[in-house]
Amino acid sequence: MNPIRLRGPADILAALPFQLGYHPHEAVVVVALEGRAIGMVQRLDLPPAEQVDAAVGALLPALVRERPDAVLLVGYESRRMAAMPLLDALAPAVGDLGIDVLDRLLVRDGHWFAPDCAVGCCPVGGTPLPPPHETPAVADFVALEMAPVPDRESLRRQLDPDPGRCAEVEAVPDTSPRTGGPHDHAVRRLRQLSRWAVVCDVSAARPPLDGLAPEELADLARSLRDLELRDGLISWLCPGALPEEALDDDLVDQLRSCLPAPSWAGGQPSAERAIAGRRLQARLVELCRLLPDRQAAPALTVLANVAWWLGDGAVSRVALERALELEPRYRLARLLGTMVDLAIRPRETA
């Protein structure tokens, strides 16, 4: 949960695109509230009438797991009342879970509407959405180095490969020995983890990953075909996702000696930790763009794990979609996809 505090519905509506990472369109958004802070956020495309019940069923399991104090239901529509069938079905279903529905809102043509206003205090033509610069919560998001893109497709395009760099990486021959003793294996892992230390640099002076040589990028990609190293890396980046006891002792020592401490984890939520997490996620997005299709699925899955651990379901889903498009049978991506569908956080699996 990001440490953002909100004053009311207008603040929430201004902050939602920042929380999602993009501006929603033709969708219903379920905002879980913990006190006056935004918790889990779910978004679902507006379904056709015959699929409303199925849409409700898809949104409820996460609420059962999260048990928020209350929820806000927001319909984004271009046609008047288009979101109401889903909101009408969703509100009583949420109430049956014992969760309060704080309010239902519609967003259309730059205005927001309160369809349940019973005292006539809300303008018939809606209330203009507040400008972001007038919303304190938005300033908090900007301070956390967060900004929304125009739509979900724009979010997906952030993972589009860089053709020139990908061709350079594709051309790097694989000279890794097919055999070797424990010493050679340990040396190779230490070299690869030292490259991952560069990816995990979230300091203010971090160099862009585009400066890495094709051979270094190819080595990063190939390192993730070592499933033990991949899982160890995810356990380091996403504390609690995998118990340390499940890892080889030598690998744990290598992770500790090579990788920086995860400054995005531990203790109470803070702006510093949130910024570190956003920077790590951005570094992984950058890495995925530099890897050719044949080598990208494992890195995309690492990104999806980190994004989901950080609470960014939107980036996690687009990364998983691309990973499974490239390798439909990649097991870790399929497993994480199930976890996302069921709203099981990686940190809860330990």
* Assigned domain for 223 exists: yes
Question: Domain end: 105, 126, 151, which one?
Answer: 151
Q: Is the pLDDT at 2 greater than 60, yes or no? A: no
**187 and 272 belong to one structural domain:** yes
**286 and 219 belong to one structural domain:** yes
**94 and 179 belong to one structural domain:** no
**235 and 108 belong to one structural domain:** no
Spatial distance between the Cα atoms of 141 and 15, rounded to a whole number of angstroms: 8
* Assigned domain for 308 exists: yes
Q: Is the pLDDT at 346 greater than 70, yes or no? A: no
The pTM of the full predicted model, rounded to 2 decimals, is 0.83
Percent of the chain at pLDDT exceeding 70: 94
What pLDDT is recorded for position 181?
82
User: Binning pLDDT at 50, 70 and 90, where does residue 288 land?
Assistant: very high
**212 and 298 belong to one structural domain:** yes
* Assigned domain for 1 exists: no
Over residues 256-280, the mean pLDDT reads 89
**71 and 104 belong to one structural domain:** yes
User: Binning pLDDT at 50, 70 and 90, where does residue 306 land?
Assistant: very high
Q: Is the pLDDT at 349 greater than 80, yes or no? A: no
Query: Lowest-confidence range among 26-35, 83-92, 144-153?
Result: 144-153
Over residues 115-124, the mean pLDDT reads 80
CATH number of residue 107's parent domain: 3.40.140.10
Over residues 303-331, the mean pLDDT reads 95
Of 314, 18, 25, 315, nearest to 147 by C-alpha is 18
Could you tell me if 138 and 18 are in contact, meaning their C-beta atoms sit under 8 angstroms apart?
yes
* Assigned domain for 4 exists: no
Question: Domain end: 136, 151, 166, which one?
Answer: 151
53-74 burial, b at 16+ Cβ within 10 Å, e below that, comes to eebbeebbebbeebebebbbbb
* Assigned domain for 216 exists: yes
Q: How many domains would you assign to the chain?
A: 2
* Assigned domain for 271 exists: yes
Task: Give the domain range for residue 45.
Answer: 9-151
Question: Domain end: 99, 119, 151, which one?
Answer: 151
* Assigned domain for 111 exists: yes
Higher pLDDT, 150 or 198: 198
Could you tell me if 85 and 93 are in contact, meaning their C-beta atoms sit under 8 angstroms apart?
no
The pLDDT mean for the chain works out to 90
**166 and 142 belong to one structural domain:** no
- pLDDT tens digits, 15-24: 889 888 899 9
What pLDDT is recorded for position 136?
76
What pLDDT is recorded for position 36?
66
**25 and 122 belong to one structural domain:** yes
- pLDDT tens digits, 176-232: 766 678 888 999 999 999 999 999 999 999 999 999 999 999 999 999 999 999 999
What pLDDT is recorded for position 1?
42
**121 and 174 belong to one structural domain:** no
What pLDDT is recorded for position 95?
96
Q: Is the pLDDT at 9 greater than 90, yes or no? A: no
- pLDDT tens digits, 157-182: 999 999 999 999 999 998 876 667 88
**45 and 165 belong to one structural domain:** no
**88 and 168 belong to one structural domain:** no
* Assigned domain for 2 exists: no
